Amino acid sequence: MEIELNGYYTMILATLVLLLGRFLVVKVRFLSDFNIPEPVAGGLVAGVIVFLLNVFFGLTFKFQTQLQTAFMLMFFSSIGLSADFTRLRAGGKPLAVFLMVVAVFIVVQNTVGVGLAAALGLDPLIGLVTGSITLTGGHGTAGAWGPVLESKYGITGATTLGIATATFGLVAGGLIGGPVAKHLIKRIGHSKLAPPTRQTEVEAVAAAQSLYSTRHTEAGDEPDAAMFDKPDEIRLITASSTIETLALFAACMAFAGVMTTVAKGTVFELPTFVWALGGGVVIRNVLTHFFNFDMFDRAIDVFGNASLSLFLAMALLSLRLWELTDLALPVMVILFAQVGVMMLYAAFVTFKVMGSDYDSAVLAAGHCGFGMGATPTAIANMQAITDRYGASYKAFLIVPMVGAFFVDLVNAAVLQFFTQLPFLQ
């Protein structure tokens, strides 16, 4: 028997899932230690309940998706609206080099996923789900690509698989970053480490806070207001600023809708959420650099974070765990292989290309964090290392900028390239 719930009741259940997730993250230390997002914590419990109702009573649920789609587009719009390319210049050459290292790894990650999926007799597109869609992209990208793969490419259970894989990646990224960095630090020897000063530590933390976006924590953190605005220029989120920010989101979503229709059937055909992200990038940089518009980053982040939480909660309510039974073993083989590839790449590519010094070791730990999980996992990895061995201003400057602003843009481009390959059609 199928029970259909309209958008009103879907919204109510989504908020209850978020409240449950917040309770679980506070009460269960494992969830907080590994930065498991509140929507994921609550949503997985809800998914298990739906699974049990299906097994024992034959019940299935159908949720209205209009609001879920709208929140998804708002989230990706917020990514684009936050991508100010002057930050690339501010980060200098090391940031550009690190971004290239990350871009190459995304290609490697997808190549490994697709290759192993084909070797194990799975649809090669499942390799993208167990590649950068979920591991580099996280839960937001997994939830967005899932319906596309299901409807356009016929991959049954892509959304459910994506959410499960992204959760695995968060835990794995938090587990491997520390050991990789410690091994590298031992390799270069303690004599090469300059003793940090208290001022350096303060600067490193300040740099991370000023560049780090709550939207990419995917965990509903509540940072200080000064994290987004200059301390002497804090702006309140008022009714006027809310309308202004919503107008920016509306422009991105309208652009996405128009371009999806115009590009349909052409070589420029892209998922709607990619157009929303691209529209945000264009609007952000045109308004900022040509019209000197004072973009309210804090409001964008708040709306983006709330949209992501509601989108994930609704997506997780729709999980159909019974569709993954036959995929469990081969998918775990691919995921453990991805863990090994991430560790090797961080140790032999990220570390060496970035200079083979202490900062590079901390960067390698950060890369393990968002290469398998998300930016907060990267920050947690680096904090664990710097608490023991000393501050790394360079790592805390570069990783939040790449993880929070630019990796999603690169990932979207790489995924679009892979989905256009003839053997994946």
Q: Tell the residue number behind the tokens 């929140």, with chain if given.
A: 71
Q: What is the DSSP string of 408-421?
A: HHHHHHHHHHHHTS
Please give the single-letter amino acid code of residue 353: V
Mean pLDDT by 10 residues, the chain (425 residues): 82 91 88 75 84 83 83 87 75 86 95 94 92 89 88 84 86 86 82 44 46 43 37 67 92 94 82 88 90 85 87 78 72 93 95 92 92 82 83 82 80 88 71
The pLDDT, as a whole number, for residue 43 is 82
Torsion sign (Cα): 236, 212, 138, 278: positive
Q: What is the DSSP string of 216-248?
A: GG-S-----GGGTS-GGG-----HHHHHHHHHH
- Candidates 394, 414, 418, 406; CA nearest to 93 is 394
Query: What is the rounded CA–CA span in Å between residue 134 and residue 111?
Result: 14
DSSP SS3 for 2 = strand
- CB atoms under 10 Å from CB of 237, counted, come to 14
Angle between helices 86-119 and 393-401 (to 10 degrees): 70
Q: Is 232 exposed, middle or buried (0-12, 13-18, 19+ CB in 10 A)?
A: exposed
- CB atoms under 10 Å from CB of 256, counted, come to 25
Q: Is 195 exposed, middle or buried (0-12, 13-18, 19+ CB in 10 A)?
A: exposed
Q: What is the DSSP string of 61-84?
A: EEE--HHHHHHHHHHHHHHHHH--
The pLDDT, as a whole number, for residue 323 is 64
Tokens of 49: 């309940």
- CB atoms under 10 Å from CB of 285, counted, come to 17
